[in-house]
Chain A
Amino acid sequence: MSAPNYAHPETLVDTQWVADHLNDPKVRIVEADEDPLLYEVGHIPGAVKLDWHVDVQDPVRRDFVNTADFEALCRRYGISNDTTVVFYGDRNNWYAAYSFWLFRMYGHQDLRLMNGGRTKWEAEGRPYTKDVPHFDTTNYTAQEANLSVRAFRSQVEAGLGATNRGLVDVRSPDEYSGKLLHMVNYPQEGATRGGHIPSARNIPWAKAANEDGTFKSPDELRALYGGEGITPDKEIVTYCRIGERSAHSWFVLTQLLGYPNVRNYDGSWTEWGNLVGAPIEK
Chain B
Amino acid sequence: MAVILDLVEKLSVTAEGDTITLPITTPGQAALAASWCQRTGNTLITADATSITVRRGRPPDPITDLPPARRPGARLWLYTNFDCNLACDYCCARSSPQTARRALGVDRVKEIAKAAPAAGVLEILLTGGEPFILPDLDQIVTACTAALPTTLLTNGMLFRGHRLQILQAMPRDRLTLQISLDSATPDLHDSHRGKGTWTKAVAGIRIALGEGFTVRVAATLTTDGQHEERELRSFLDSLGITRENQVVRPLAHQGVADEGVELTVQTLIPEVTITADGVYWHPVGADNAEQLVTRDIFPLDAAIELVREQYRSHRNTADSAARAFPCA
Tell whether A pairs with B: no
